[in-house]
Structure 1
């Protein structure tokens, strides 16, 4: 079992409801959140508790290190020339057999290939051999199988010579019994490097496949594949280069599902652009991004389950720029998702980010630009970073896979004292960062509990009556941070009356563009913002709300009065210990 640790202190960005006039989310308040600003304008760090399993360093440490042959592990000065002559080849090198249109390399060494070949290049070297193929202007086409195949060797390198243009293509189909079934196929660890270019056409199946580790460190590589573009069974690691991938199957894949330390995809650098008919990244275990620019377009049919990034264990993003469009989930893990850095943008036909277990965001930015449900997991934790969610259904959904969860999905929350739905144990915990939600269904919805201890939260909830800006089955507790939740009135929920931090709720209607202003009994404005959509209720909590105070909520020149801690009339109450309906006052 992997260990749980507390990550080092993480800086939190100043955003949202932090200081008057500094409202990234468009809301201005007079209070402060869990972070604080010194006289010099610097932000103090706040410790964030995160499952270290989801941090990229921890995820990678739990896996077998991939084999990558460095450029300084061999020398181009040692290269011997092989000239491809159309149907054969000429060379003075030992260990090279040109028999018909098959050129076979049987010894370790460095070989420089140039010219055209209608046939194949085969590496059949000793099991402990390192073989380097410098591609220096080659065009290899094989109508009967793989263009380049490695049957035996330890490590093989494809180096793209400076200024060279290289291309390979394979058969239009493969027999089910065929072992080599890609344009470039290696039954060994394979590293692709160099500064030249390589165009790969996988007519019959995959583009580039290794049954061990596939590493790409540099080069300009274009792949068009009938199935998967790049596949490293044990691991697929990309640290550099410019990759343009088109695949009818998965674009980037590692599928060793028999060893828990293998079957991962790791991108740490380079520029990757991929269009796929199935998943953009498909990892049997972990999908990790720690750098580079990654653009994924998973364009399969809506019922085909084409996901942007899919992992069997963990999706972990620590740095880099990630842009995902998918007909199914944008980010998907059968286990957990951790985001501790980078800038990630998702547009999805289903969930923006879905984890069967935990979804944790500690730093970086995550924008769910389009989704059915924005963030969905059994346990959702936001301790830092900037998160913006747009969803046609629920914005945040704390939901597991139990039959009980299925029965409570889509219903009004409130727990005991609000809705009568059972608490099935899911959690949503927000302790830092900024969160903005625009939801057509529930804004923040947990089949279990919601706990807010910090952070800056703005929820633009539903306009229809069957959902609410806030919805919990096990109670909604606020002990810190700043929360503004605006939505419809039919299923409106307020935080627990026993929450350590006070809140105020009111029923008042408004439209997009209207100014919302909340003032205390002295007339001091404690929060103001411009409405993003139509609404009927307003819930607000911050350190500026006193537990026994009276407040005025003004929208478009009309006002209502409300007393802190009193739930919205006709709403779902305040969870355990919640005040009886009746708050919200009347227009004045």
Structure 2
């Protein structure tokens, strides 16, 4: 408080006793100059740590502890603005600060400013036009560069070259058009100075205002706009219309809060170097044209909270958003269009494919609130690719891809295939919430692929997911036995090398091949799963269903528990159903299939099986144990048709006939009292029905009917309520063991 009192006394005494004109605030290495006549007030915070100066209506705050001294000057206020005006091959400089250490050297239209003045934020106003000019400045203090309708072309180097490591604020004056163009070949700089761009700065660059700036980068080994520190965009309309290297290049970060930036370059569009990219507003548009470049790139975290990213990528192996660390999209809108393809790079005994990806991270891609739209048309193009994890916990994501995959020789010297994918991760993929729409029409193209685990949903979250694949399979090798055997890369909707866990959500899949495929365990605890078309709907060594509403339509198997080794032996796989509602419609495969065992402990399972042998309604290499639930399966007369195991603890009946029953013919079971246990209308002709219910009991006689009609409501062929009538009694039976076979 003693320091506060001394400052106050010094100010008041000096101002009123001596009528000073200029007040100079000394803080560290800076001197802040204020006009006494425009100083309205000085006041301190209650704790005395902050001094508030209100000058010309603007409030400036300073830490009291950082104020070294305050001095005053009797001289009139010096104009702290230097004006540079270009006219063709010449330039003129109006420099009112020469006496305090600002010098100007003019050679034709090449202007070099050297400032040793201890004054921060000197204004340098550039205007006029020159086709043979430049602006270069050396300064020990922060400067303000004001572009007021200036057009500079320098055939021999940068148009603007700031050789100061201090912060530069660049104001683009309202309603002005400014342009900067460099030459193809730069002259050697003095003292080994950097001169890396048409607009170059050693220090931080901060753009503000509402005017227009166009940068035309022609330098053969140069960027368009570059800083050896960070670049921050607070306003203005900036267009980098060309650059041989990066359009915008910063060593220590790129930060955008407002304004409009458009970049077209042969190198990276925006490269933020070793630091972050942070976008919280404005519009950033990038046209990336070359192979093996990135539209927006950094070695650290890329984070977006608001604004618009509009990106076009046409080069092979190129990337839209690319980070060596995390890419986190909390908000805003991201639109990325890629047309680049794959590059096969020689490696080992063959090649290693490198892909064009809209979004690529080495650690994590997270979407939590942003709206992301990706369209990929290039060969084997990828939507989002992560060497680590992908997490979607909010917002919306729509990826449309159409590029075909193809065959190649891998690094081991073996035949292989590369393919595109909407989502691809070496680590885990988690879709916790949000709206996700994925569509891939390319050969071998996939919706989701992960080398580890996939998690969908979670407590209190309801993600909405739609996945469509329509591409043809890629033949890697063909032949072998049985016919049709071979090695193929199919257009699967979801493929995980680890576990798939579904906790909640609404999932719709339309697949040219598998709907959900895992090499480990798939666990469905809840949610709505609707696979409207597939070759095999759900496949994996272990399939565990604890709940959910599941509808599966497949050409081949519906639920297929297998390690993929084939054969009729028990391979240890497991299909376990503990709850939920499951509807399966398989036209040419086994709806319930396990190369190991089947355990049915609960749930409602309604199955429309195939109509022709050798496929059956339920195929199990081990044993099927039924302990609870409701099960009805229509099937064929194949000699592989089998019932549940007698070791079951709930009755399960296999009902068979040698006479084919036509499609859409009701199959009905009731007890002697006329109570209905089952009224079921299979969509295909059938020879067998497998039925299990906790209503079955010993000591009761049951009647079996076919045909007739029911006034109830059919849900997936199973009638609920109503009255059955008009059928033909085929047989009666009673239960003598847990898994009898009854002929009708």
Output the TM-score relative to the length of structure 1: 0.64
Residues 155-214 of structure 1 deviation map (CA, whole Å, 9 limit, x = unaligned): 22122x32x22211112521xxxxxx21101111111221x3221123311111101101
Does the 8 Å contact 1:185/1:210 carry over to 2?
Answer: yes
1:330 and 1:203 map into 2 onto residues whose CA distance is 26
Cα RMSD, aligned residues only: 3.8
Flag structure 1 segments of 5+ consecutive residues without an equivalent: 1-71, 175-180, 257-262, 396-406, 414-423, 511-524, 529-535, 540-544, 566-582
1:87 and 1:363 map into 2 onto residues whose CA distance is 62
2:288 and 2:60 map into 1 onto residues whose CA distance is 32
Q: Secondary structure at the match of 2:504?
A: strand
1:275 equivalent in alignment to 2:275: no
Match of 2:212 in 1: 165
**How far off its partner does 1:86 sit?**
4.8
1:300 and 1:354 map into 2 onto residues whose CA distance is 17
Which of 375, 378, 381 is matched with 2:448 structurally? 375
CA change 1:445–1:426 in 2 (3 A) is same
2:520 and 2:432 map into 1 onto residues whose CA distance is 22
- Name the stretch that deviates more: 90-99 or 352-361: 90-99
**How far off its partner does 1:98 sit?**
5.3
CA change 1:313–1:433 in 2 (3 A) is same
2:502 and 2:321 map into 1 onto residues whose CA distance is 29
Which of 192, 199, 203 is matched with 1:148 structurally? 199
Does the 8 Å contact 1:373/1:392 carry over to 2?
Answer: no
Number of aligned positions between the proteins: 425
Match of 1:48 in 2: none
Residues 211-260 of structure 1 deviation map (CA, whole Å, 9 limit, x = unaligned): 1101121112221111211111122222111222101244533343xxxx
Residues 82-135 of structure 1 deviation map (CA, whole Å, 9 limit, x = unaligned): 44445565444547665523312323121212311112111111x4x2211113
CA change 1:477–1:205 in 2 (3 A) is same
Where do residues 143-542 of structure 1 align in structure 2 (5 Å cutoff)? 143-144=183-184, 146-150=197-201, 152-153=202-203, 155-159=204-208, 161-162=209-210, 164-174=211-221, 181-194=222-235, 196-233=236-273, 234-249=275-290, 250-256=293-299, 263-276=300-313, 277=315, 278-303=318-343, 305-326=355-376, 327=378, 328-348=381-401, 349=403, 350-370=420-440, 372-377=445-450, 378-383=452-457, 384-392=462-470, 426-463=498-535, 468-473=536-541, 475-489=542-556, 493=560, 496-501=574-579, 509=587
Match of 2:479 in 1: none
Query: Segments of 4+ in structure 1 off by > 6 A?
Result: 407-411, 525-528, 536-539, 557-560
Residues 315-345 of structure 1 deviation map (CA, whole Å, 9 limit, x = unaligned): 0001121101223110100000000111110
CA change 1:478–1:496 in 2 (3 A) is farther
Does the 8 Å contact 1:484/1:538 carry over to 2?
Answer: no
Residues 123-156 of structure 1 deviation map (CA, whole Å, 9 limit, x = unaligned): 111x4x2211113331111114622001x22x22
2:386 and 2:214 map into 1 onto residues whose CA distance is 35
CA change 1:500–1:346 in 2 (3 A) is same
Which of 121, 139, 151 is matched with 2:160 structurally? 121
CA change 1:283–1:394 in 2 (3 A) is farther
Does the 8 Å contact 2:550/2:582 carry over to 1?
Answer: no
1:140 and 1:431 map into 2 onto residues whose CA distance is 56
Where do residues 56-71 of structure 1 align in structure 2 (5 Å cutoff)? none
Q: Secondary structure at the match of 2:281?
A: coil
Does the 8 Å contact 1:505/1:538 carry over to 2?
Answer: no
Structure with higher RCO (Cα < 8 A, 6+ apart): 1
Does the 8 Å contact 1:81/1:113 carry over to 2?
Answer: no
**How far off its partner does 1:392 sit?**
3.6
CA change 1:183–1:247 in 2 (3 A) is same
CA change 1:170–1:92 in 2 (3 A) is same
1:382 and 1:394 map into 2 onto residues whose CA distance is 27
Residues 541-583 of structure 1 deviation map (CA, whole Å, 9 limit, x = unaligned): xxxx961444666466978855369xxxxxxxxxxxxxxxxx9
2:584 and 2:525 map into 1 onto residues whose CA distance is 22
**How far off its partner does 1:437 sit?**
1.0
**How far off its partner does 1:314 sit?**
0.3
Match of 1:69 in 2: none
1:369 and 1:487 map into 2 onto residues whose CA distance is 19
2:679 and 2:103 map into 1 onto residues whose CA distance is 88
1:139 equivalent in alignment to 2:179: yes
Match of 2:119 in 1: none
CA change 1:526–1:122 in 2 (3 A) is same
1:105 and 1:279 map into 2 onto residues whose CA distance is 36
2:497 and 2:449 map into 1 onto residues whose CA distance is 14
1:470 and 1:182 map into 2 onto residues whose CA distance is 51
CA change 1:292–1:498 in 2 (3 A) is closer
- Asked which structure has the greater CA Rg, the reply is 2
2:181 and 2:616 map into 1 onto residues whose CA distance is 67
1:117 and 1:78 map into 2 onto residues whose CA distance is 24
Q: Secondary structure at the match of 1:374?
A: strand
Does the 8 Å contact 2:529/2:549 carry over to 1?
Answer: yes
2:258 and 2:287 map into 1 onto residues whose CA distance is 18
CA change 1:317–1:552 in 2 (3 A) is farther
**How far off its partner does 1:410 sit?**
6.6
CA change 1:482–1:184 in 2 (3 A) is same
Q: Secondary structure at the match of 2:147?
A: strand
Does the 8 Å contact 2:182/2:219 carry over to 1?
Answer: no
2:616 and 2:312 map into 1 onto residues whose CA distance is 43
**How far off its partner does 1:489 sit?**
2.7
1:526 and 1:92 map into 2 onto residues whose CA distance is 88
Q: Secondary structure at the match of 1:330?
A: strand
CA change 1:131–1:485 in 2 (3 A) is same
- Name the stretch that deviates more: 96-105 or 339-348: 96-105
Match of 1:178 in 2: none
1:131 and 1:73 map into 2 onto residues whose CA distance is 19
CA change 1:255–1:197 in 2 (3 A) is closer
Does the 8 Å contact 2:268/2:297 carry over to 1?
Answer: no
Does the 8 Å contact 1:95/1:105 carry over to 2?
Answer: no
1:343 and 1:351 map into 2 onto residues whose CA distance is 18
Match of 2:143 in 1: 109
